[in-house]
């Protein structure tokens, strides 16, 4: 599991105006950490450090060491608010991890052996219907990602949630629900022919017909 440490400071200046000043003047991100037996705590994070960590996929599903003025606690990233068009983070929610208690986390899916799939070798295209799943596990069992093996999938074949091989101690939250459904994770479908390609073929055929007619008329005259 990756080792990420976020440095934070407590903040007492709460409100939209205070948050805007933090982002604009200090290049800091307002955030909140909650969960466990402790009260929710408002904190600030370095925007530069957060942006650097967000470039790594594993950050989103790893247990993070949150250092608040020298006191370290383990947290998960639960929510992230980005600016609609600027490369800026506006707010973060972090949830405390309690060792010895099960936790819920979103984990990315990695699709392996796609190029070896019979359906792909026949010209099919892999379609990813789900790119992450919610898992339930103890903190020590939290995976950075879950592998989905596509190596044996035929043309028209489908991989369902129930067919994913899960690491030890990990189960899918989807199957804990009363209305649980075995959703499609990925499938291999035939390639689609674009409308423009069809139009080009029709134009070429139309252009060939007059030429063929002309050749037949010339032959008749002879």
- pLDDT (tens digit per residue) in 68-102: 999 999 999 999 999 898 888 999 999 999 999 99
Q: How many CA atoms lie within 13 A of 195 on its CB side?
A: 0
Arithmetic mean of pLDDT over the chain: 86
pLDDT at 80: 94
How many of the other CB atoms lie within 10 Å of CB of 141? 16
Please write the tens of the pLDDT for every residue from 126-152.
Answer: 999 999 999 999 999 999 999 999 999
Residues of the chain with pLDDT > 90, as a percent, come to 70
Distances (CA, A) of 171 to 47, 84, 102, 142: 34, 34, 11, 10
How many of the other CB atoms lie within 10 Å of CB of 98? 14
More confident residue, 186 or 17: 186
Longest dimension (CA), the chain: 100
Answer yes or no: is pLDDT of 196 > 90: no
Evaluate whether the domain defined by 103-189 bears CATH number 2.170.120.20.
yes
DSSP track, 53-94? HHTSGGGGGS-EEEEETTEEEEEEEEEEEE-SSSS-EEEEEE
Find out whether 20 and 27 touch, Cβ atoms under 8 Å: no
Q: Please state whether beta strands 28-34 and 41-46 pair in parallel, antiparallel, or not at all (unpaired).
A: antiparallel
List the domain boundaries for the chain: 4-96, 103-189
Name the class of domain 4-96.
mainly beta
pLDDT at 192: 83
User: Nearest-CA neighbor of 71 among 96, 103, 49?
Assistant: 96
If phi over 0 gives left and psi between -120 and 50 gives alpha, with beta otherwise, what is residue 171?
beta
What pTM does this model have? 0.76
Find out whether 73 and 95 touch, Cβ atoms under 8 Å: no
Answer yes or no: is pLDDT of 214 > 50: no
201: CB partners within 8 A, 6+ apart: none
* Cα 59 from Cα 53, distance rounded (Å): 6
Answer yes or no: is pLDDT of 25 > 80: no
pLDDT interval class at 1 (50, 70, 90): very low
140: CB partners within 8 A, 6+ apart: 169
Answer yes or no: is pLDDT of 213 > 90: no
């Amino acid at each position: 599991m990756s080792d990420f440490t976020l440095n934070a400071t407590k903040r007492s200046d709460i409100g939209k105006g205070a948050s805007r000043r933090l982002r604009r003047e200090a290049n800091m991100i307002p955030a909140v950490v909650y969960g466990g037996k402790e009260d929710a705590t408002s904190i600030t994070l370095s925007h530069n450090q957060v942006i650097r960590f967000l470039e790594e996929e594993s950050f989103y599903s790893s247990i993070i060491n949150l250092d608040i003025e020298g006191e370290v606690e383990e947290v998960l990233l639960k929510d992230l608010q980005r600016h609609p068009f600027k490369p800026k983070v506006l707010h973060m929610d972090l949830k405390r991890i309690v060792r010895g208690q099960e936790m819920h986390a979103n984990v990315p899916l990695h699709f392996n052996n796609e190029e070896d799939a019979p359906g792909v070798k026949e010209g099919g295209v892999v379609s990813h219907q789900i790119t992450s799943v919610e898992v339930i596990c103890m903190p020590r069992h939290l995976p950075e990602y879950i592998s989905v093996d596509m190596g044996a999938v035929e043309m028209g074949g489908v991989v369902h949630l129930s067919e994913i091989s899960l690491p030890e101690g990990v189960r899918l939250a989807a199957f804990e629900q009363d209305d649980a459904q075995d959703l499609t994770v990925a499938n291999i479908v035939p390639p689609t022919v674009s409308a423009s390609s069809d139009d080009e073929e029709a134009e070429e055929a139309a252009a060939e017909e007059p030429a063929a007619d002309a050749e037949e008329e010339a032959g008749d005259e002879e």
